[in-house]
Structure 1
Amino acid sequence: MSRAVIYEKFGGPEVLELKEVPEPHAGPGEVRVRVTAAGLNPMDWIIASMPEGAAKWGITLPAGFGSDFVGVVDEIGAGAEGYAEGDRVYGGAIAQAVADYAIVQTGPSAFYRLLPLPDGISDAVGAALPTPGLTAAAALDTIGVRSGDTVLIGGAAGGVGVLAVQLAKLADARVIGTASPGTFEFLRSLGVEPVEYGTGLVGRVRALAPEGVTAAADLFGAETAEAALELGVPAQRISTIAVGANPPGGVRATGGTDAAPGSLERITDAILAGTITVPIAASFPLENFREAVELQAGRHVHGKVVITT
């Protein structure tokens, strides 16, 4: 037997339960990973609380919880090439990560790639990377952020935001990030010029950048995308990750599936070089998973919430 966080009906953190389940095994084209850390994302509780969110990912009840993880390969199915038992890896498996084991599809059709985690990167940091890293890279690559840009990034202190602002800085862009005042000092430490979100955002950005904004990425809702349009940013240089197929004003909807090959490797290289930092807001043992989920779902932490197994 092994442990996994399971839910049998849709709802908030209260529907999640830590249960003893039969130990899973790798089938053809699969590897089994002994999970050591799982990083939480908004999509995890959206899937668990909304049937339409679960349906988008093909999730049916009962279901596991969480997607991003770090662990060690300990079982390899027939035809799963490129892995060896004992490999330290990171990646994703939808609705499987908060558990003792995750079963991961390999091959070109897999949604997530299972990647080797470099020495020098902790389990907690590795678990914080797959979904946020791919999403941040896609949000910036979609709009071609480059040297000389002034980029407005909405939701700059969130799990995706902290990576996006640092990737934009590495591209030699000026970065203005929307956030709550309590995160301003943290954002300034990353080289970001913070601005408070909410009513009056356009005026505050104009005061901060009177010469104008050239690109924008909205990582939380549509407010930043709408402000960027009002500021005169062309729609093709505005991306959004949170409004589905109907972004405002024809701006470019994107997500982790649009990330360029090698995006996560580029981020891990930058972490090892000390040019990107990944703040871990809190870490909880698997037995305290509900406290971790409640903290992450509140959306008031800067940095990642991690569960260790």
Structure 2
Amino acid sequence: MRAALIRSFDGPESVEIADVVEPAVGPDSVLIEVAATSVNPVDWKILHGGMQAAIPHHLPMTPGWDVAGTVAAVGPAIRDLQIGDRVAAYARKDHVRDGTFAERVAVPERSWALVPDEVDLEVAACLPLAGMTADMLLDAAAVGEGDTVLVHAAAGGVGSFAVQLAALRGATVVGTASERNHDYLRDLGATPVTYGEGLVDHVREVAPDGVDAVVDLVGGAALEATPQVLRDGGRVASVIDPSVADRFGGTYVFVRPDRARLTRLLQLVAEGRLKVEIAERYPLEQAREAFLASKAGHVRGKVVVTRD
């Protein structure tokens, strides 16, 4: 089968398309005929070797943790799937080697969820990592009815989900983004503010008493401003900086497979209550270009890589 492959940690530029051995299907695994996958920042960080301290890596390597497609084979311990079922998965494993930027991928039982008929597989491929990260961040920050929550990088893949899911929880959402994305954030249900210089003043203009929770997707200066925008007793959750626990009493989040959560998010998409923004589409043969587009930043929504 064909797959995106790296043989060294030299970044997206080192990605090639090569013939590789089809993955084995273990007793608790499912083989997915890939329709689409999507790029997440962690993917191009892996291409640079930036995640080796967290998870064992093996070269040559196919990256990718998001996938949607149809079931091609099931392991003998699987009882609740049939060949041809439509599934999506957050396919992170205990080692990084056989990822989702391929024609077929084997994923463990804990990873997959059935895709409702109303949801296109390209759309479903955007949801696992980014959607579940957003939802877990909101849980970690205990965002609920009546809260005002500040979402940094609100127009990106995780941020756009966090805005919508926070609004569905009954929160008032303030989102940082460049001005070109302000109308987009308004459509998602957030009050947009410009990031960078003057951030604290911008937030205080729309939330004079401060915010109840901060969802951090960028770290750096935005996170440093937290004490100046957070109410006393407010909560902080970050997907970037583990030091939030010591500095702000917050929570660092690293997304984990969660079938029930992914099933719920897919159902929200099916019901039209959660929107998925696809910024760009690339065929598998142009996976390198897809990684480079994501790494360049300023992408609104998700970059998708399709089988065709």
Task: Tell whether the structures are fold-level matches, with TM greater than 0.5.
Answer: yes
Moved more, 242-251 or 165-174: 242-251
Q: 1:203-242 maps to which residues of 2 (within 5 A)?
A: 203-234=201-232, 237-242=235-240
1:116-131 correspondence to structure 2 within 5 Å: 116-131=114-129
Which residue in the other structure is 1:101 paired with? 104
C-alpha separation in 2, matches of 1:235 and 1:299: 33
TM-score when normalising by structure 1: 0.92
The answer on 1:173 being equivalent to 2:135 is: no
Determine the structure 1 residue equivalent to 2:35.
36
* TM-score after normalising by structure 2: 0.92
* Other structure's SS at 1:262 match: helix
Mean Cα displacement is larger for which, 26-35 or 157-166? 26-35
Please list the CA deviations of residues 27-75 of structure 1 after superposition, one character each: whole Å capped at 9, or x if unmatched. Answer: 222221111100110011111112x413422222111111101011111
In 2, are the aligned partners of 1:235 and 1:249 still within 8 Å (CA)? no
State the Cα deviation string for residues 175-222 of structure 1 (Å, max 9, x = none).
Answer: 100111111111111121111111221111111221321111111224
Q: Percent of counterpart pairs with the same letter?
A: 38
User: In structure 2, what residue type is equivalent to 1:272?
Assistant: A
3-state SS in 1 of match to 2:270: helix
C-alpha change, 1:70 and 1:260, in structure 2 (3 Å) is: closer
Q: Which moved more, 1:113-122 or 1:230-239?
A: 230-239
AA of the residue aligned to 1:227: A
TM superposition shift of 1:243? 1.2
Aligned length: 301
> Secondary structure of 1:305's match?
strand
Distance 1:46 1:232 in 2: 30
Distance 1:194 1:268, change over 3 A: same
Matched, 1:159 2:162: no
State which of 142, 145, 148 in structure 1 corresponds to 2:146. 148
Moved more, 237-246 or 271-280: 237-246
The aligned counterpart of 1:268 is 266
Indicate the SS of the match to 1:11.
Answer: coil
Cα deviation, 1:121-143, whole Å, max 9, x if unaligned, reads: 01111000000111000110111
1:89 aligns with 2:87: yes
Unaligned runs of 5+ in 2: 93-97
1:65-84 aligned within 5 A: 65-84=63-82
For 1:33, give the aligned amino acid: I
Greater Cα offset, 123-132 or 24-33: 24-33
Give, in whole Å, the separation in 2 of the partners of 1:32 and 1:161: 30
Aligned mates of 1:176, 1:117 — CA distance in 2: 31
Q: Which has the higher strand share?
A: 2
Output the CA distance in 1 between the equivalents of 2:38 and 2:206.
34
